[in-house]
Amino acid sequence: MGTKITAYKNKYQAEKYDRIIVQVKKGQKEKIKAHAESRGMSLNAFIVEAIEKELRE
């Protein structure tokens, strides 16, 4: 049953979201993640918010 749920989630995400791969220097991911967590955010939410903020300006 777990594979059906995973397949459904993957299909939903493929239909509703675009993927962007971001590359940072070694060690930067953990720094960014720690900063995001200090603000009560996931790494993804932090990156999305930063992009949206930049686009508004």
Question: Is residue 1 scored above 70 in pLDDT?
Answer: no
Token pair, residue 49, equals 């918010």
Q: What pLDDT was estimated at residue 52?
A: 97
Burial class (CB within 10 angstroms; exposed 0-12, middle 13-18, buried 19+) of 47: middle
Distance of CA 45 to the CA centre of its chain: 6
Farthest-apart Cα atoms in the chain, separation: 46
pLDDT tens-place string over residues 8-55: 999 999 999 999 999 999 999 999 999 999 999 999 999 999 999 999
pLDDT at 57: 85
pTM (two decimals): 0.76
